[in-house]
A and B are shown apart, each in its own frame.
Chain A
Amino acid sequence: MIARPQLIALQILVAFALIGIWYVGSSVPIFGTYFLPKFFFSTPQDVFMRIVKMFSGTTIWKHIGITLTETMLAFVIGSLGGVVFGFWFARKPLVAAVFEPYIKMANALPRVVLAPIFMLWLGLGIWSKVALGFTLVFFIVFFNVYQGVKEVSPVVLANARMLGLNERQLFRHVYWPSALSWMFSSLHTSVGFALVGAVVGEYLGAAAGLGYLIHEAEGVFDVTGVFAGMVILAAFVLVVDAVVTQIEKRLLVWRPEATQKS
């Protein structure tokens, strides 16, 4: 494996190379033409200035705050729902058998088609975005918890029984941690989807949020604004992902992979 400082150096190098190509293509005429015309691609320096300008005001924080709120709500509510239903289905095979085709159908549905309906039902505020994120997060968590409860090692279970644990204690000390570990193993995916739900929802109809910002800029062919919004969104995703990684490390100390990765 490559050492960490070297890795970071290489990663920064890639960023510089890409920005360099972008800069040359959009700002340096070659044989009198620009490879990446400004109207379609903007320029790195313009995008940078735009971001600086956005952050000199306070409205950008309002947009970030809204997107973050929607993401968190979708994640928390979706996870709660997924955990409850995952447990219920895993412990009641009849319920699981009856609902299986419906769950599969609902999960196969592309969520974007639901967005207008949610807006109709819940308005243009944050709740229609939360609902969209919920439909994405719920199924990820649901399937993982369902799997986690069903795939508890029979030996660990038999051992716990022999140690005198009753049903309630088995739930708390065996099923629950096993289900949680499966849920946390999909933490990155579910937080990511909560964010996708929020941004796509904003994009399709909202008055605030990062998705709304990008959509607005696109509406007036403001490519610089679109790129600035995308860069901010990407940075936002990286920060959220880093926070999730930290939480994961805390919660999954008992896992072989968690310690090997660090």
Chain B
Amino acid sequence: MAAGAVALDRVTIAYPNGYEAVTAADLVVGEGEFVSLVGPTGCGKSTLLNAAAGLIAPASGEVRIFGAPLQGLNRQAGYLFQQDALMPWKNAADNVAIGLEAAGVPRADALARAQDWLTRVGLKNFGDRYPHQLSGGQKKRVAMAQMLIRDPKILLMDEPFGPLDAQTRQIMGNLLLDLWAADRKALIFVTHDLEEAIALSDRVVIMSSGPKARIIGDHRIDLPRPRNALDIRLDTRFHNIQQSIWAQLRAEVIKAYGDVA
């Protein structure tokens, strides 16, 4: 527990064009912990998540996975991308099964387990649909099954419900809580929606606006579990937490817009 599942140690990330997106970020996510990363658009949330996934290497600082320095791709992590990342030429069942097939599971077994996962995410009868035949929410469900079927120890999710309507977001939030509660994994959940972050997580981490974004707040969310992502929003404790975090976030948002204007 001390090492944590994911540890970012003074991580600084610069893009090849010289833009320094994130500076000296410190973050430890414990095993089984659900941490949300919140910040204004463009502050570097995806950038930080990509560093945790091993898709980009930090300019300085270190990423450690279960205590070991990360080199190359993070093989212990599943990643849910912000954009559509399903293979458009594979149907839902094949998309979910691909992670197992890549690991050498015979195709028939992989497909059978993919069907189980499709059922778990509520898409029992959608296995033969291609991505373009699915709604935005359904695509995210397939992507969740695709990630979870490999049983990664760490989950990285980048605004997974970003493009969905409010109703669908909440349904997906509850689905995520159910799946996560089944076998608690370390989870970093990126969102720009503070309410969503509070409703779902154990901790909410706030990033400042970029460039050279930093982690400027770390709030423990002491709401009881199991939670319902919908009902919890009516709780007064939810309201109080939201007030105190929002006060801090607002200053950052104003700064972000001030820089642009």
Contacts and interface: CB of A to CB of B under 8 A. Distances in A.
Given A158-B55, A161-B73, A162-B79, A177 B89 contact: yes
Interface string A147-185: 000000101101111111110010001100110010000
Contacts of A255: 88, 132
B85 A156 contact: yes
B91 A254 contact: yes
Contact of A174 (B81, B87, B147): B87
Residues of A in contact with B, size category: 20 to 34
B103 interface: yes
Contacts of B84: 155
B32 to A, nearest CB: 21
Nearest to B130: A254
Nearest to A260: B132
A155 B83 contact: yes
Contacts of A161: 55, 73
A254 B132 contact: yes
B148 to A, nearest CB: 11
B87 A160 contact: yes
Q: Chain B: interface secondary structure?
A: loop
A156 B139 CA distance: 13
A98 interface: no
Contact of A164 (B55, B86, B103): B103
B259 to A, nearest CB: 28
Interface residues of B, number: 28
Interface in B121-172: 130-133, 146-147, 150
B4 interface: no
A259 B134 CA distance: 13
Contacts of B150: 163-164
Contact of B146 (A155, A163, A166, A174): A163
Contacts of B102: 163-166, 169, 173
B99 interface: yes
Nearest to B132: A256
B53 A162 contact: yes
B210 interface: no
B98 A155 contact: no
B75 interface: yes
A12 interface: no
A171 to B, nearest CB: 12
A159 B132 CA distance: 17
A163 B77 contact: no
Contacts of A169: 102
7 closest A-B pairs by CB: A159-B85, A163-B99, A177-B89, A254-B130, A256-B132, A162-B79, A164-B102
Interface of A: 153, 155-156, 158-166, 169, 173-174, 177-178, 181, 253-256, 259
25 contacts: A153-B85, A155-B84, A155-B85, A158-B79, A159-B85, A159-B86, A161-B73, A162-B55, A162-B77, A162-B78, A163-B150, A164-B75, A164-B102, A164-B103, A164-B150, A165-B98, A166-B102, A173-B90, A173-B98, A178-B89, A253-B130, A254-B89, A254-B91, A255-B132, A256-B132
